[in-house]
Structure 1
Amino acid sequence: MKNLKAIALALVVVLSTASVTAQTKKVDVTGSTINWVGKKVTGQHNGTVNLKDGALVFKGTKLAGGTFTVDMTSLTATDLTGEYQGKLNGHLKGEDFFGTEKFPTSVLVFKTIGTKSKDLYTVTADLTIKGITKPVTFEMAVKGNTATTKFMVDRTKYDIKYGSGSIFDNLGDKAISDEFELAVALKF
């Protein structure tokens, strides 16, 4: 009887400490969105950029990881049309900004994840733009088969200095904010 209790207790301990296997959920790139907003002294521009691929990793119901590749060649302004949209898109894809011919993708890889509340996580990730990798931290809400976040990226950390008032003097109303906002809605 003592042996049976000891075996039962050992089994309960083993089962309760067994690690939950990770489950990778592929992101639906056509159902997911990335919207951006870039501000300047005289206003702002907004637009979209597409995911090329991505996946979230869960352990049980808890977010445990993620990796995403963004198609920078899909970068487009949505607040303009025609010739002006073409000019801005060309400038953003050019060497002054994202250099998409040489750097057609950007990558985000989750490094650490902390639970803030039931469906809200604090994520620190490595973001690679133009071949330069820097950490970013943001909150991500995960509910059902969706995940959403909104965060700021300092473009000067990725050698995107064009029109930066913190780098160049005397720009006046031509200054462009160093930070741009990303609003991401993932379906998986």
Structure 2
Amino acid sequence: MKKTILSLALTAVFGLTATANPIDGEKKEVKTDESTVTWKAYKVGGSHTGTIALKSGSLEFDGEELTGGEFVVDMTTINTTDLEGEYKQKLDGHLNSDDFFATASNPNASLSFTKVRAGEDNTYEVTGNLTIKGITKPITFDVSIDGSKATATLKVDRTKYDVTYKSGIIGTAKDKLIYDEFDLVVDLQL
């Protein structure tokens, strides 16, 4: 009898807790074939641009408000768009090598939102965990939502992810220097 009363009491407490905190969120999958991730890396005297493919992604909403998100990028799709021919092939190959992103052993990068703070006009300040080459570090950036589109620009310090080839922090000659930060411009279709 005591076990039955205890079981009923626990069921009532946990049942009320579950109904007192309902999850109203909606997870919207990103249309990866219609979304783009563009990168831009800088060096003394110039820059290079390219694309990289989203493997999967979703944004979470509570009503119209952004509450979370998670993404996986296929690092093996690094594609330089400002070069052609032999120079493009060399740069793409070098970016895939161990000098940079080591895509043979680290084919995916990921981003998981950990905190979302609403701003004005459908903008949000997002903090998340960015994982590149198996190294996870926090990153903060802004996201704008406009109907079924979301956009963000992230500034990434490559040295935090053990990508230090010709970095200024290791004393490379100035004319060979590659800047530590690169930009990711993300346009998502939901």
TM-score, normalized by the shorter chain, greater than 0.5: yes
C-alpha contact (below 8 Å) 2:166/2:172 kept by paired residues: no
Unaligned runs of 5+ in 1: 1-16
C-alpha contact (below 8 Å) 1:126/1:136 kept by paired residues: yes
C-alpha contact (below 8 Å) 2:38/2:52 kept by paired residues: yes
Counterpart code for 1:160 = V
CA distance in 2, matches of 1:187, 1:126: 22
1:110 paired to 2:87 = no
Q: Tell me which residue corresponds to 1:63.
A: 66
Quote the offset at 1:116 in angstroms: 1.1
Unaligned runs of 5+ in 2: 1-19
Q: CA RMSD in A?
A: 1.2
SS in 2 for 1:117: coil
CA distance in 1, matches of 2:172, 2:74: 34
Q: Tell me which residue corresponds to 1:185.
A: 187
Counterpart code for 1:132 = I
CA distance in 1, matches of 2:29, 2:109: 18
Counterpart code for 2:122 = D
CA distance in 1, matches of 2:104, 2:80: 18
C-alpha contact (below 8 Å) 2:116/2:125 kept by paired residues: yes
Q: Deviations over 1:80-120 (max 9, x none)?
A: 01100000000000000000000000000000000111300
C-alpha contact (below 8 Å) 1:20/1:60 kept by paired residues: no
TM-score (norm 2): 0.88
C-alpha contact (below 8 Å) 1:112/1:125 kept by paired residues: yes
Q: Deviations over 1:6-36 (max 9, x none)?
A: xxxxxxxxxxx87561100000001000000
TM-score (norm 1): 0.88
C-alpha contact (below 8 Å) 1:45/1:79 kept by paired residues: yes
Quote the offset at 1:183 in angstroms: 0.3
Counterpart code for 1:67 = E
SS in 1 for 2:99: coil
1:154 paired to 2:151 = no
CA distance in 2, matches of 1:163, 1:18: 51
